[in-house]
Amino acid sequence: MTMYVGRIVAVGRSGERSWAGYRVSSRSFPNRRAEIRGSSVMVSPKNLEELSSNPYIAYSCLRLWENVAVVANGTQVDTIIEKVEDGMRPLEAIALSLLAYGYERDELDTPRLAGVVQEDKAWLGIVKRGEIRAKEFLLAEGQALMVATYEKTEFEPAAIAGKSAAEIARACFDLPLERPVCAAAAMASGDRFELAVYNPV
C-alpha cells in the first residue's frame, strides 16, 4: 500500500557521482511542472492564476553553485545557497535558513525541507511545528537518503539510483508513493553539476 508524503528531498551517490533529487507530489495543485532555468530548476503551476490560491506552489527547488547543489521545497533554497557562497558550512546554512523561515503557514503547517550535496558529503534538514533538525552524512556508493513533508519526516534510506541526472529525476518520480507531479535532479559531473527534470506530460 502506498502513502501520500507530499514533497520529497533526496541526496545520494551513484556511479561515484553524488546527486540531489526532488519530487513534487500534490493533492491540491497537481498541474505543475519543473523547468530548468540556467543553473536552477523552477517548479511552477501551468496556470499562473493558481498562484493567487497558494503562494507556496512556485519556487526554485534546485540551485547550483560551483561544486555545490542545494535542493529544497521552497524559497529557503535561495538563502541556503547564498550563505554557502558566503563561506558558511552547509549544515549551518541549512539550520539558519530553516530556523529563519520556519514551517509554511498553510492549512497543513507544511514542513520546509532542504538538502545540500558537495563532493562525497550531503546534508539534510527539516523544520516543522515544534521541531528543527539538520544532519551531515558521508555518502557511500549506492546510498540514497530522503525526507518528505508528510509521513516520512525522518532522514531515511530511499530506493533511488541512476547513471545521470535524468535517470535520478525519473527514479525520484517513480518512487512508489502517491500523487507524483514532476521531479528534478542534479548530478555531479567533474567539478560541476548537470541538471535534469522529469515531467510526465
Question: What are the tens digits of pLDDT across the range 163-192?
Answer: 999 999 999 999 999 999 999 999 999 889
Residue 182 has a pLDDT of 98
Given the C-alpha cell 557521482, which residue does it identify?
17
Q: Comparing 48-52, 56-60, 64-68, 189-193, which segment has the lowest mean pLDDT?
A: 48-52
CB distance 187 to 71 below 8 Å: no
Residue 54 has a pLDDT of 82
pLDDT at 112 over 80: yes
- 24 class by beta-carbon count within 10 Å (0-12 exposed, 13-18 middle, 19+ buried): buried
CB distance 73 to 29 below 8 Å: no
Give the Cα-Cα-Cα angle 182, 127, 92 (nearest 5 degrees). 100
User: Does the pTM of the predicted model rise above 0.85?
Assistant: yes
Return the C-alpha cell found at 64: 547550483
Average pLDDT for residues 75-92, to the nearest whole number?
97
Give strand pairing partners of 12.
Answer: 19, 144
Average pLDDT for residues 19-34, to the nearest whole number?
95
Average pLDDT for residues 57-66, to the nearest whole number?
96
Q: Domain spanning 8-198 has what CATH number?
A: 3.60.20.20
Residue 1 has a pLDDT of 56
Average pLDDT of the chain?
A: 95
pLDDT at 49 over 90: no
Is residue 60 classed as helix, strand or coil in its secondary structure?
A: strand
Residues 151, 168: Cα–Cα separation, whole Å: 22
